[in-house]
Homo-oligomer: A and B are copies of this chain.
Amino acid sequence: MDAEEFRRRGKEMVDYVADYLEKIEERPVYPDVEPGYLRQLIPTEAPEEPESYEDVMRDVERVIMPGVTHWHSPNFFAYFPTATSYPSMLADILCGAIGCIGFSWAASPACTELETVMMDWLGKMLKLPDCFLAGTDGHGGGVIQSTASEATLVALLAARCKAVKRVQSINPELSEAEIFSKLVAYTSEQAHSSVERAGLIGGVMMKQVPTDYNYSLRGTLLQKMIEEDKAAGLVPFFLCATLGTTSCCSFDNLQELGPICNEQNMWMHVDAAYAGSSFICPEFRPLLNGIELADSFNFNPHKWLLINFDCSAMWVKKRTDIIGAFKLEPFYLKHDNQESGLITDYRHWQIPLGRRFRSLKMWFVFRTYGIKKMQDLIRKHVALAKEFESLVRADKRFEICAEVVLGLVCFRIKGSNELNQALLKRITKSREIHLVPCQLSGQFVLRFCICARLTESHHVQKAWQHITQLTFELLQEPIN
């Protein structure tokens, strides 16, 4: 395909995309396919000779679309949102065309520098303490990771490296492996599975601390566990606190946890993957209080800030901590400017080497929306969640299972887990809306999360009618 054909096909694709998103409601939100459906629809090998582009596009509707879960349908209320917006998609097209790999400053200076400045812009939107910003002479700074899981892992590895150095400076006779075996990290029992996984990858113990009645991690229980572990000869070195847990969007108490971590020389990483976007609204910013006590902070603009996946924003107070954990300097990546102190080689901040020009998406979205219109989206979603909460509360057959703070409502039929499982099964099967469950205090709970940019009140009302209709039918019949 040459540039001329690309001009034509690209414009057709833009129309296809606009059509898809404008009419997405007409498609069932959850696909009606069985595992293995796709393999039978296409050949077993790639063609020797080129096929026509028309054939490929025809197959998008025949092969792909029937198997897509439509995350941007206004009837999608599952998991957490994944963000999208037209300016973000436009920036991504440009990113694909420039197609530079930004592992070092020299590999494409604009790619590195725009990222640093965009992370400062975003940090200021959240009113992050200055110590997290790069500015022109700061010690902190931001980096775009691919996902929150990677940010957690990077923070844990930086903390591990720092802890090993600290322990070795006191006990030079200890080997790295011996120190690893004594290191212990903590997170709440409500934390995302990727935190436990970071411990697994890093080869260190990761303990889950119980939460309070609000599913919030509190200082007392952490303190108690630390004391016990220290008495047993272990070395506490890392806490991953969560703001907005995946199960029920609960918030750990940073103001209690922070001072403990600081006193114990423990790294505090704060994961606000979903909730973080809301902190651009002054009324939600108090949820971030205590962040000044943290060593690193992360949230996903690709969840709720109109920027298409992937764009996970991570800040550290001391960039030397994070760089120190990874820095290796091969000859073929050395360049003239790297010792100037002014430049950033982002490959030292992350697990992969290569990286896309993702900050273009931030730049396009922040400027074409402006802070106010981004706040509008957050507020609209929270209001819709509150609206759904009221509907649930007004129906005595149901109960709300966790405080509704942002866009997530956890609810269930008052009754057995089996009953609620049966309800979810019917919801999934009907394919009119899509939800996923969680488990809270041993109970099977339904999660209703406002996800799509274009979800409106009437979608929420219709979803509730649908849920109550299925509940009505379910309660008429014996469960099997």
Q: What CA separation (Å) do A44 and B123 show in the bound complex? A: 11
The answer on a CB contact under 8 Å between B48 and A372 is: yes
A201's partner among B147, B202, B308 (CB-CB below 8 A) is B202
- Does more than half of chain A's interface fall in helix, strand or loop, or is it mixed? helix
In the complex, chain B residues whose CB is within 8 Å of the CB of A55 = 367
The answer to the question of A352 belonging to the interface, with a C-beta cut-off of 8 Å to chain B, is yes
A35's partner among B109, B146, B369 (CB-CB below 8 A) is B109
Q: What CA separation (Å) do A36 and B175 show in the bound complex? A: 41
Binds B, one of A63-71, A262-270, A313-321, A461-469: A63-71
The answer on a CB contact under 8 Å between B68 and A33 is: no
The answer on a CB contact under 8 Å between A49 and B370 is: yes
In the complex, chain B residues whose CB is within 8 Å of the CB of A92 = 92-93, 96
The answer on a CB contact under 8 Å between B39 and A117 is: yes
In the complex, chain B residues whose CB is within 8 Å of the CB of A329 = 193
Binds B, one of A8-16, A291-299, A472-480: A8-16
Q: What CA separation (Å) do A329 and B197 show in the bound complex? A: 11
Q: What CA separation (Å) do A193 and B84 show in the bound complex? A: 35
Q: What CA separation (Å) do A342 and B39 show in the bound complex? A: 12
User: Which residues of A from 188 to 219 have beta carbons under 8 Å from B?
Assistant: 192-194, 196-197, 200-203
In the complex, chain B residues whose CB is within 8 Å of the CB of A7 = 14-15, 18
The answer to the question of A221 belonging to the interface, with a C-beta cut-off of 8 Å to chain B, is no
Known A-B contacts A200-B326, A351-B351; A90 and B337 likewise in contact (beta carbons under 8 Å) = no
The answer to the question of A110 belonging to the interface, with a C-beta cut-off of 8 Å to chain B, is yes
Q: What CA separation (Å) do A437 and B370 show in the bound complex? A: 43
Determine how many copies of this chain the complex contains: 2
Complex: chain B residue closest to A53, CB-CB: B368
Q: What CA separation (Å) do A97 and B70 show in the bound complex? A: 10
In the complex, chain B residues whose CB is within 8 Å of the CB of A4 = 18
The answer on a CB contact under 8 Å between A309 and B101 is: yes
The answer on a CB contact under 8 Å between B192 and A181 is: no
Q: How far is the CB of A161 from chain B (nearest CB, A)?
A: 9
A86's partner among B9, B113, B117, B331 (CB-CB below 8 A) is B9
The answer on a CB contact under 8 Å between A84 and B110 is: no
Complex: chain B residue closest to A338, CB-CB: B35
Q: How far is the CB of A96 from chain B (nearest CB, A)?
A: 5
User: Which residues of A from 56 to 93 have beta carbons under 8 Å from B?
Assistant: 56, 60, 63-72, 79, 82, 84-90, 92-93
Number of chain A residues close to chain B: CB under 8 A? 152
Known A-B contacts A21-B97, A39-B113, A177-B177; A246 and B13 likewise in contact (beta carbons under 8 Å) = no
The answer to the question of A260 belonging to the interface, with a C-beta cut-off of 8 Å to chain B, is no
In the complex, chain B residues whose CB is within 8 Å of the CB of A117 = 38-39, 42
The answer to the question of A391 belonging to the interface, with a C-beta cut-off of 8 Å to chain B, is no
The answer on a CB contact under 8 Å between A60 and B331 is: no
The answer to the question of A323 belonging to the interface, with a C-beta cut-off of 8 Å to chain B, is no
The answer on a CB contact under 8 Å between B31 and A110 is: yes
Q: What CA separation (Å) do A399 and B326 show in the bound complex? A: 35
Complex: chain B residue closest to A248, CB-CB: B332
User: Which residues of A from 1 to 31 have beta carbons under 8 Å from B?
Assistant: 1-7, 9-11, 13-18, 20-22, 31
The answer on a CB contact under 8 Å between A11 and B14 is: yes
Binds B, one of A222-230, A358-366, A378-386: A358-366
A-B contact pairs, 10 of them (CB 8 A): A6-B18, A9-B86, A17-B97, A31-B108, A71-B99, A79-B107, A82-B99, A92-B92, A200-B325, A333-B436
- A3-B21, A56-B364, A89-B97 given; 18 more Cβ-contact pairs under 8 Å: A6-B14, A6-B86, A7-B15, A9-B86, A11-B11, A39-B116, A42-B117, A44-B121, A45-B124, A48-B372, A52-B368, A65-B110, A68-B98, A69-B109, A71-B98, A193-B330, A310-B356, A333-B436
